[in-house]
Amino acid sequence: MDQNKRLQAVQDYYPDDVAHCYGCGRLNKHGHQIKSYWDGDETVSKFIPKEYHTAIPGFVYGGLIASLIDCHGTGSAALAAYRNENRAIDTLPALRFVTASLQVDYLKPTPLGPEIELRGKIIEVKGKKVITEISRIADGVITAKGKVIAVQIPENFSAK
Amino acid sequence: MDQNKRLQAVQDYYPDDVAHCYGCGRLNKHGHQIKSYWDGDETVSKFIPKEYHTAIPGFVYGGLIASLIDCHGTGSAALAAYRNENRAIDTLPALRFVTASLQVDYLKPTPLGPEIELRGKIIEVKGKKVITEISRIADGVITAKGKVIAVQIPENFSAK
């Protein structure tokens, strides 16, 4: 595998017709456009919340936390699936996952302001299902932990 | 209890200093501003996603689903806590909850377009903890189920 490809965000290679997700689609100009990368055997994503992404004033909105864990979970699932097939993320067929189950435990309030880091561990890759554990880190402290069960969507999946 | 007060949204009575939540704060002009009401022994909230709240085109973004379940869970927790104390939601001290744990199972894709209904069941009210189960309904079909463990925040809680 080309090492450079391992440094690209998997969302940059989502096919155009499945690249509109509010959380991670590069074609959704209203959305968060998060990016998921490999960092060794873990996956990483970084995000700076807007000032209005607040819960109680001073802390990050839990729904945003859940959203980022969700999207970094599906991005991590795609990264893991490509690696599992020993393929670069720009090769076809494209692998794209959606969330079947999301669990988030809020360990402590996440301060609003600092860049937030999401780190993913791949727990299991089995058939079309990938399980990841995502830690949410702010100022070096884990403030939330999530578990995402993601399933691969069929090619040419559409609501139409 | 004044029956009319049972028909008001609990978020309309959140104290100003804890009414900025991106999901449910009436003072967050960028946010969803969801409202949670009693409907008999269940709680209900309704929301129409924007066209950009998309996952795969045609379906609602899972992170939004998680966010709405989260916020309707904390709103339902507050409703349940007032009822548990046999108090109207405009009485003091105000009861405001945050999420300790969120579990969402996505049963089927939620079509983007129709109004979405969230229905909550109060599972347990114990001390400062309330557990709710939230079903997300679109076009009469349950598309996601969530469980929210919410905890009451202390009065005068602040990040400052």
pLDDT digits (tens, 9 = 90+) for B61-107: 999 999 999 999 999 999 999 999 999 999 999 999 999 999 999 99
Q: Compute how many other C-beta atoms are within 10 angstroms of the C-beta atom of residue B39.
A: 13
CA–CA separation, B119 and B115 (whole Å): 13
ipTM reported for the complex, 2 dp: 0.91
Q: Compute how many other C-beta atoms are within 10 angstroms of the C-beta atom of residue A114.
A: 15
Residue in B with minimal Cα distance to A153: B56
pLDDT in tens, A46-67: 999 999 999 988 999 999 999 9
Can you say how many angstroms the Cα of residue A40 is from the centroid of all Cα atoms in its chain? 16
Q: Compute how many other C-beta atoms are within 10 angstroms of the C-beta atom of residue A139.
A: 12
| B61:A21 CB<8 A | yes
- Bridge partners (DSSP) of residue A39 are A42
Can you say how many angstroms the Cα of residue A64 is from the centroid of all Cα atoms in its chain? 12
CA–CA separation, A10 and A120 (whole Å): 14
Is the backbone of residue A41 left (phi > 0), alpha (psi -120 to 50) or beta? alpha
- Bridge partners (DSSP) of residue A26 are none
Mean predicted confidence (pLDDT) in B15-26: 94
When scoring B104, B143, B157, B160 by the number of chain A Cβ atoms within 10 A, the one with the most, hence best to mutate, is B104
Q: Which residues of B touch A45 (CB under 8 A)?
A: none
Report the mean per-residue pLDDT for chain B: 91
| A67:B66 CB<8 A | yes
Report the mean per-residue pLDDT for chain A: 91
CA–CA separation, A9 and B68 (whole Å): 28
pLDDT in tens, A20-47: 999 999 999 999 999 999 999 999 999 9
When scoring A102, A143, A147, A158 by the number of chain B Cβ atoms within 10 A, the one with the most, hence best to mutate, is A102
CB-CB contact of B10 with B71 (8 Å) = no
Q: Is the dihedral of CA A106, A69, A104, B66 positive or negative?
A: positive
**Summary count for chain B: helices (H), strands (E):** 1, 6
